[in-house]
Amino acid sequence: MPFPIRVPSVFRPWLLVLLAVAIPAAADETKPDPKMEFDPAHAEKMKEGLDLFKGKVRQILVKSCVECHGGPEVESGLDLATRKGLVRGGSKGPAVVAGKSRDSNMWRFIAHKEDPKMPDGAEKLPEDQIAAVAKWIDLGAPYDTPLVPNPRDPDRWTNTVIKADARNFWSFQPLVRHNPPSVKNAAWVRSPIDAFVLAKLEEKGLTPNGPAEKRILIRRASFDLVGLHWKGDGTVTFRTRSVKGRWSPWHEAAAEERQDHQQHRQVAGGLDAVADQPHEHRDPGDREDQQQQDAGRGQPADR
């Protein structure tokens, strides 16, 4: 039985006021959105649209559009082979707004209201065909079957359309050879890359840090190559050989240790996989050896 909540009499009038305000507000939130209301004539429109599609629009799309937008190549990312591709659209946005032909790119392009005028490189479609496409869009732009035998799936990542402005991202640009910029502290530069780094630092009014100690250098390189702290004897070797600037022997030793770590992990992973297998999946010779070992320890052999 729930514990009763007693409201002091002094707060009861205010509680009634809050309830009177909250209940109508909650009722308003449950009202359906007028924009989301279902069209009672939807079924009739879809039936009429399908008849129009099968009788006329399908032939128009196959003859005038599919070669560039649904065949072997899909220009501008627009694939009209399926309704999903039609609604998804391409680099110009959705091809149609179902129920609104005048707001649809397809109608504006084939009616030559906007560029690019379609069909590309061909005469404008007859007015009766344009009117048929417009009416089909107003009826919901339904399809009965795809326009090609094996249509693409526009949801596959291989069919992703990259917008024109996204192609301007720096990593998509072609490689270009740039001359190193001029810097004030030219003595600090040891390679062309240093010049680019220093130019940005000087642009911001910053100065680079001084050379790192040998101990710090070897620590950084060890984490990069091995992923662990370097051993003490390696530090001594590095300090001894770095007098003449010989960094490469230590670098090669670190690379060898990294390879040893990788091989150890691979072998350990393989042993774990074998250990997890049931006896019937192991080699028969291993099974007999295990039986002999169990018998030698006074344990019953595996049957």
For the chain, helix, strand, coil in percent to 5 are 55, 0, 45
The DSSP string of 38-53 is PPTTHHHHHHHHHHHI
Burial of 257 (0-12, 13-18, 19+ CB in 10 A): middle
Write down the pLDDT at residue 291: 57
Distance CA 241, CA 247 (A): 7
Contact between 251 and 234 under an 8 Å Cβ cutoff? The reply is no
Of 82, 57, 59, the residue nearest 69 (C-alpha): 82
Q: How far is CA 5 from the centre of its chain?
A: 53
Alpha helical stretches, state H, 35-172: 42-52, 58-64, 83-88, 105-110, 127-138
DSSP 8-state code for residue 55: I
DSSP 8-state code for residue 104: -
Backbone angles phi, psi at 90, to 5 degrees: -135, -145
Write down the pLDDT at residue 52: 94
Distance CA 132, CA 57 (A): 7
Q: Which residues in the chain land under pLDDT 50? A: 1-3, 26-30, 32, 34, 36, 236, 239-246, 279-284, 299-303
DSSP 8-state code for residue 54: I
Domains of the chain, by residue range, sit at 42-152, 180-210, 214-290
Contact between 64 and 155 under an 8 Å Cβ cutoff? The reply is no
Write down the pLDDT at residue 132: 94
